[in-house]
Amino acid sequence: MLPDREGAARQYAVCERFDDLGKDDPDRTYRLGIMGGTFDPVHIGHLACAEQARDELGMDAIIFIPAGVPVYKKDQKVTPAADRLEMCRLAVASNPAFDVSSIEVDREGDTYTVDTLRQLRAHYPDNVELFFITGADAVMSIMKWRDSAQIAHLAKLVAVTRPGYAPPEEMKRVLRERTGFQVSFLEVTGLDVSSSDLRRRVADGRSIRYLTKEVVFRYIEEHGLYRNDEEGERAWS
């Protein structure tokens, strides 16, 4: 388990703000949005997406869960999990409806969504519904994910698209009709920003100010992340 910002051991199982979600009123159904992603780095598109899901789909809380070791990115450089986690923490701190969980970062080995959802399902009471929110590109490959049939039982999916990049109707139909997944598609205004674009901009010495939260922008600068120089190389190790 990673130490928290003050260095003390954490006292919570999933996250600081929402460990007790569902307990206030056992007769009410609570909706918990889980933002799954690599978040390398988190940006305003992710935040707009979480907020839009909260607002339009009536979520009670949204938890950002950065992947520890993303399985499909083993051939790519991915920023250390501790940095991605901290940037998410900084990004969501000011929104009382959002929090961050380190459960995927704390878990040993490759990150599989099914393990995360099993862990959350075991923690939260039955009156908490789980919604796994992620990019539509990622959702389109979900049938190939580990234990995908189990995922369909554990959570509903929210597939987020950028304006003008709607997934093909055929894919949507297959996903809905043949797999048992319950999927909502959410077109998010402002999701034109992408993590890869932010990384490229920093490497090219261009500004990313206002494309992510100021605190995240400062963290990236202070820690030399994504730079295409000696400082950037040190940040990987």
Applying CB under 6 A, the residues found at the interface with ligand NAP are 35-38, 45-46, 49, 67, 70-73, 111-113, 133-135, 137-138, 145-146, 160, 194-196
Q: Which is nearer to ligand NAP, 118 or 127 (CB)?
A: 118
The nearest distance, CB 111 to ligand NAP, in angstroms, is 5
CB atoms under 10 Å from CB of 141, counted, come to 10
- Whether the CB-CB separation of 131 and 158 falls below 8 Å is answered with yes
Q: Which is nearer to ligand NAP, 22 or 135 (CB)?
A: 135
The nearest distance, CB 132 to ligand NAP, in angstroms, is 8
The nearest distance, CB 201 to ligand NAP, in angstroms, is 13
Q: Which is nearer to ligand NAP, 112 or 131 (CB)?
A: 112
Classify residue 118 as exposed, middle or buried by CB count within 10 Å of its CB (0-12, 13-18, 19+).
middle
Closest CA to 98 of 56, 134, 60, 63: 63
In angstroms, the CA 160 to CA 183 distance is: 10
The nearest distance, CB 82 to ligand NAP, in angstroms, is 17
In angstroms, the CA 228 to CA 207 distance is: 14
Q: Which is nearer to ligand NAP, 26 or 58 (CB)?
A: 58
Q: Which is nearer to ligand NAP, 22 or 70 (CB)?
A: 70
The nearest distance, CB 200 to ligand NAP, in angstroms, is 11
Q: Which is nearer to ligand NAP, 128 or 158 (CB)?
A: 158
**In terms of C-beta distances under 8 Å and separation of at least 24 residues, what long-range contacts does 135-139 make, across chains too?**
135/37, 135/159, 135/160, 135/161, 136/160, 136/161, 136/165, 136/167, 136/185, 138/36, 138/37, 139/175, 139/183
Q: Which residue is nearest to ligand NAP (CB)?
A: 135
The nearest distance, CB 188 to ligand NAP, in angstroms, is 7
In angstroms, the CA 219 to CA 87 distance is: 7
